[in-house]
Amino acid sequence: MKADIVTIFPDFFRGPLEYGITRRAQEMGLAKIEVHDLRRFTHDRHRTVDDRPFGGGEGMVLKPEPIFDCLQPLGLASRERRLDGAVGESVILLSAQGERFTQKLAAELAKLERIVLICGRYEGVDERVADFLADRELSIGDYVLSGGELGAAVILEAVTRLLPGAVGNEASTRQESFTAQATGGEVREGGEDTEKDGPDSTCGSNGLLDYPHYTRPAEFRGMSVPEVLINGNHQQIRRWRREQALKKTLRNRPDLLESATLSDEDKKLLI
């Protein structure tokens, strides 16, 4: 995948792009990420990227010309072809007013060949960018940040770790929180699935939050790892994990239960 980030703060990305899986994916050639300094596409002495809003009001607005000029040489297909799905490209404007970014969207974006992330600043971006240049506006949550850079970093990290080969154990990305189709196996009553090769392949979230994880030591300052995880009974471990995932989802994100795939036994556990 090729990703382009458009920003007035290119140095901001030094951290997020140079650690962990995002770095590894670039080193492995799975992702090529380029950061474009918007000020390079200005034509005045002061490298002006913003201006006052028409109609008055607070703050400054990012001007359209540098953003259009920055995308021009990227060789993207036309907006019409991108929106038709004729090409695997998407131009994304980071915006608090955008569609909420989710794991489902991350999976969709991970299938594309190219994404462009435009980071807003100040009071926002001239609306013509959303109307005529970007294919979609994405928000990373219902709060207002000072710029789109953190959002772009969040989206890139979520997408990059879904690129085939980016995460060492690929199965782990299929059974995480929010992941609708958690395993390749068919879910049976009681949250079991048809795979029989151990507990980890069978406890995927199927749209729920992840189950709790523990590691050594089994006893730590009087806090014990649940006995069921130590006894080696895979069937019991599966059931316990499913129950915990259900309970945690009910407690922290009951909204997810509406669209999750629940067996009859799951429903009983929730009562």
Binding site for ligand SAM (CB under 6 A): 94-97, 119-121, 123-125, 139-141, 143-148, 151
Q: What is the SS3 assignment for 165? A: coil
Number of neighbouring beta carbons within 10 Å of residue 43: 9
- Whole-angstrom distance, CA of residue 109 vs CA of residue 106: 5
| Residue whose entry in the numeric block shows the structure tokens 């189709």 | 181
Shortest distance, CB of residue 125 to ligand SAM, whole angstroms?
Answer: 5
Q: Which is nearer to ligand SAM, 148 or 207 (CB)?
A: 148
Burial 110-119 (b: 16+ CB within 10 A, else e): bebebbbbbb
Shortest distance, CB of residue 136 to ligand SAM, whole angstroms?
Answer: 12
Q: Which is nearer to ligand SAM, 120 or 207 (CB)?
A: 120
Burial 62-90 (b: 16+ CB within 10 A, else e): bbbebbeebbeeeebeeeeebeeeeeebb
Q: Which is nearer to ligand SAM, 143 or 258 (CB)?
A: 143
Q: Which is nearer to ligand SAM, 70 or 94 (CB)?
A: 94
Q: Which is nearer to ligand SAM, 85 or 141 (CB)?
A: 141
Shortest distance, CB of residue 206 to ligand SAM, whole angstroms?
Answer: 27
Shortest distance, CB of residue 146 to ligand SAM, whole angstroms?
Answer: 5
Shortest distance, CB of residue 140 to ligand SAM, whole angstroms?
Answer: 4
Q: What does the CA dihedral 216, 238, 182, 171 come to, rounded to 10 degrees?
A: 40
